[in-house]
Amino acid sequence: MTRIRVLIVDDAVVVRRLVTDALADDPEIEVVGTAPNGRIALQKIPQVNPDVVTMDVEMPELNGIETVCALRPSYPKLPVIMFSTLTERGGTATLDALAAGASDYVTKPANVGSVALAQQRVREELIPRIKSLAGRIVIPAAAPRPVAQTPVAPPRPAPRPTGPDARPAIVTIGVSTGGPNALAALIPALPADLKVPVVIVQHMPPMFTRLLSERLNAQSPLHVREAAAGMAITPGTITIAPGDFHMVLERHGTDVRVALNQAPPENSCRPAVDPLFRSVVHVYGVRTLGVILTGMGQDGLRGCEGIRDVGGQVLAQDEASSVVWGMPGFVVRAGLADKVVPLAEMAAEITRRVSGIPTAWAAPHPVASRDMSRTEAV
């Protein structure tokens, strides 16, 4: 198998060495070059022909954001992973870089105690992203190997009640890799008079989720906020789970409120999509509309099973508009998606369903039956 060619761009010699050494032991990856700033990186790209670029945010001469902007006209499909600090300044710059066309990001290890631990952090967070963005198959460690099966059409959704009582009373969204840009396209397109609340898990660390919420709030006609414990869930509000906390919903009399916890990660994530989806199903039952957007891995799969089991609805982003068709791909292949929707059409589809306007069921991709092995490419 051809190895994935990686170019490392960082102004710090120690970081370039750290990342190079962290990637060196993986037989599927080859570091084909390094660069101390964006200007040299732009010169090296046609020379070393990388499959993936890791990019520092703050560099002299040409910083990461400027470099992403400069390379996109000539290399529109080249995956770029930002390597940023876990600070407010780093978070803001990372979101700017993603908006400029970066594919994903990893935060630099801090206060880990040793070089060996720092390298381990880089391996755990960076290598799966490199492989996923390069289109390689990633098998979850605890999952069985995939079994080849002939794709079949997914089962049609079970008959559901009709009328106002069957309309979704909440929209719950799960998203990961490519999520900030996907949400920036989706959330501002939702109407100001949306009659239901929206709750979201975006896989992000602390501080980044607050910055994302503030950015989306400035762009959206709806009120977007980062969740806090005890916060009421009300129509027309969009609530995003905070980094490092699972967000769940609980009913208190006639109110529905946010609860946060630091239970163990699920699907290697905290916040994770599945705990939120489970809690939404418990509170709203059949009136749940689940939406799975672009992302690496299979977080959200079990939650979508729960939504379908109670008769709720599930939408999945299509492969063509996803940065990584991992999370939505698992849901579609398991036969759980009522409809597979391009990102540009997702806001309209959500609005139609919340409004109770009939919409034909469709899945434009061949998918496998619900009981198939769930270890597909992410």
Catalytic residue among 176, 213, 220, 279: 176
Cβ 132 vs Cβ 100: under 8 Å: no
Catalytic residue among 51, 56, 299, 338: 299
Q: Which residues of 91-118 are buried (b: 16+ CB within 10 A; e: fewer)?
A: bbbbbbbbebbbbbbbbbbeeeeeeeeb
Q: What gap in Å lies between CA 45 and CA 196, rounded to an integer?
A: 47
The answer to whether 299 is a known catalytic residue is yes
Q: What gap in Å lies between CA 225 and CA 242, rounded to an integer?
A: 10
Residue with tokens 């977007």: 224
The answer to whether 203 is a known catalytic residue is yes
The answer to whether 369 is a known catalytic residue is no
SS (H, E, C) 277-324: HHHHHHHHHHHEEEEECCECCCCCHHHHHHHHHCCCEEEEECCCCCCC
Catalytic residue among 104, 203, 318, 338: 203
Residue 193: Cβ-neighbour burial (10 angstroms; 0-12, 13-18, 19+): exposed
Residues with a catalytic annotation lie at 176, 203, 299
